[in-house]
Amino acid sequence: MKDYHANGAAGNAAKFKEIASASVGPMGALAFEGGEPVGWVAAGPRSRYVRAVQTPTLKGIDHAENDDVWLVPCFFIRPDMRRRGIARRLLEGAIEMARGAKASAIEGFPTAGVKLGSADRQVGTEHLFESCGFRSIRRPSSSRVLMRLDLVG
């Protein structure tokens, strides 16, 4: 997060373009309404999200799965478009992308039954992930839950 804030909007945009141009697969999905982008979800193999994989929230995961299991680390929904089901459609799109890439599973670490503060809003909610078939694997804190949807087997 420190680098994110220090880079500013232009620096972060440049870093994202650098990562996207080097990526073999998609970086996530966009939602459009009336031709305008209104939301985005980051999604891809866990191995792409080195910092997230090293956090206490994901402690205990099987790192041998990092290339086969996808992660949904964050969402962005334009403020004037929130509460319209866009996050759910984006999560459904991420699941389909993971299936198309032959991922064995897809995970997220949403907030767990707490009112979302601005710092936590981007990870989604436990209810959102449950509504798309994810199950709770572990509760690393009172405010986060690690959730998983197995795609094979």
Residue 41 belongs to domain with CATH number: 3.40.630.30
Would you call 26 exposed, middle or buried from its count of C-beta atoms within 10 A (0-12, 13-18, 19+)? middle
Does 36 reside within a domain? Answer: yes
Segments forming the whole domain that contains residue 96: 25-150
* Residue 3 forms part of a structural domain: no
pLDDT tens digits for range 61-79: 999 999 999 999 999 999 9
How many domains, the chain? 1
pTM, full prediction: 0.84
Average pLDDT over residues 87-104: 96
Residue 99 lies in a domain: yes
Q: What is the pLDDT of residue 78?
A: 93
Average of per-residue pLDDT across 88-95: 97
* Position 93 in a domain: yes
Check pLDDT > 80 for residue 7: no
With a CB cutoff of 8 Å and minimum separation 6, the contacts of 74 are 41, 42, 122, 123
